[in-house]
Homo-oligomer: A and B are copies of this chain.
Amino acid sequence: MEKLRIGMVGYKFMGKAHSHAYRDLPLFFPNTVHPEMKVICGRDQNGVTVAAKQFGWEEYTTDWKSLLERDDIDLIDINAPSNVHKEITIAAAKAGKHVFCEKPLALTLEDSREMLDLVESAGIKHMVGFNYRFAPAVMLAKKLIEEGRLGEIYHFRAWFLQDWLVDPNFPLAWRLQKEIAGSGSHGDLGAHLIDLSHYLIGDITEVIGMNETFIKERPIPSQMMGLSAKGSDSDKKAEVTVDDATLFLARFANGALGSFEATRFATGHRCTNSFEINGSKGSVIFDFERMNELQVYFTDDKEDVQGFRRVLATDPSHAFAENWWPPGHTIGYEHTFIHEMVELMESFRQDRQPVPNFRDGVKCQEVLEAVDLSIQNRQWIRISDV
């Protein structure tokens, strides 16, 4: 297999990021399967026409179902709003198309489990868009843990801090509406932290959380935009139906303690997706705002020079780095998507499931739901009970 022919549903923030990844992948990673950008799909005729041209897709359509009927499409890339993930995934699986789906898989755990069952029984390849796994600095953390260089893990603490909702007049974008987004900071940001914890530490056994919606009502926007929304038609406000912030404590199966925080009210933090891991032999600290760096500490350093090292993950020894630039030349946010798509391509070249896939998506959703339950019930919830 040399080419993977792609039909994509969605053309906003994630649509742009995925298109870019497909477009650049062969330049930097010529030795894997190459994506072919066949058709892009969106509900708005004008919008999708422009996007198709700008992003470099061969064709466009406003009817996502038409993608499923074509012989020249191998994989459906779903990055439309979360409330349509399920319907499209199910239809794609039934049509025998492989599926890449943005996170979160679905609005509910039940839906995501149904999706997993279906893609597994359909025998297709399925991947979920936890792109932060693919930052080379995060992959270095993973490598250090897997090689035992951090020893036994005691602590995982993670926070995803943004501040775009601090302005009370920021309008009621779709991400603030439960029926479309499913969840607020928890499902949007917390989901990434949970997936990173699964990737780096392992299974979570129990959780207890709390959340808050600091600003209860917001202006109704006149126009939806990529990430958010703009303007306001009138003075009317409507209720914010998702969480502004969700925090939770967790225990991992390996005995580690976890602390998670996702918020859109962390004034001054544009996009601090950060974690720290403490083990018996060492520690690591990651912050996405400096995504090329990993702070690393080892207990067996000579006693007079112990300290956190700032490792720039751009050396030949680091994941993917040799495909980019010489050491010290950093890469950006969008490259996490290129690496993600390299994994997708490699799964076809090697004929295996890509990772992370829908199993990881469901695992993430289990924790999301357990946290929500723990908030409703005001008590610890075991993951095995959801």
Contacts and interface: CB of A to CB of B under 8 A. Distances in A.
Interface of A: 13, 16-17, 19-20, 23-24, 26-28, 30, 53-56, 140, 143-144, 154-155, 157, 159, 161-164, 166, 168, 208-210, 212, 214, 226-227, 245, 247-249, 251, 255, 257, 259, 261, 263, 265-272, 276, 278-283, 288-292, 296-299, 301, 303-312, 314-318, 324-335, 378-380
| Copies of this chain per assembly | 4
A268 B245 contact: no
B318 A307 contact: no
A257 B186 CA distance: 15
Contacts of A267: 154, 278-283, 297, 299
A247 B249 contact: yes
A222 to B, nearest CB: 18
Contacts of A269: 278, 283, 328
Given A30-B54, A278-B265, A333 B331 contact: yes
Contacts of A283: 266-269
A26 B318 CA distance: 30
Nearest to A379: B379
Contacts of A301: 309
Contact of A157 (B208, B261, B296): B261
A72 B54 CA distance: 23
A333 B329 contact: yes
Contact of A333 (B155, B249, B261, B330): B330
Contacts of A318: 304
A228 B116 CA distance: 48
20 contacts: A20-B27, A140-B305, A155-B263, A155-B265, A157-B261, A162-B328, A168-B280, A212-B255, A227-B326, A249-B249, A267-B278, A267-B283, A270-B315, A270-B327, A270-B329, A271-B327, A289-B312, A291-B330, A304-B311, A330-B333
A328 B282 contact: no
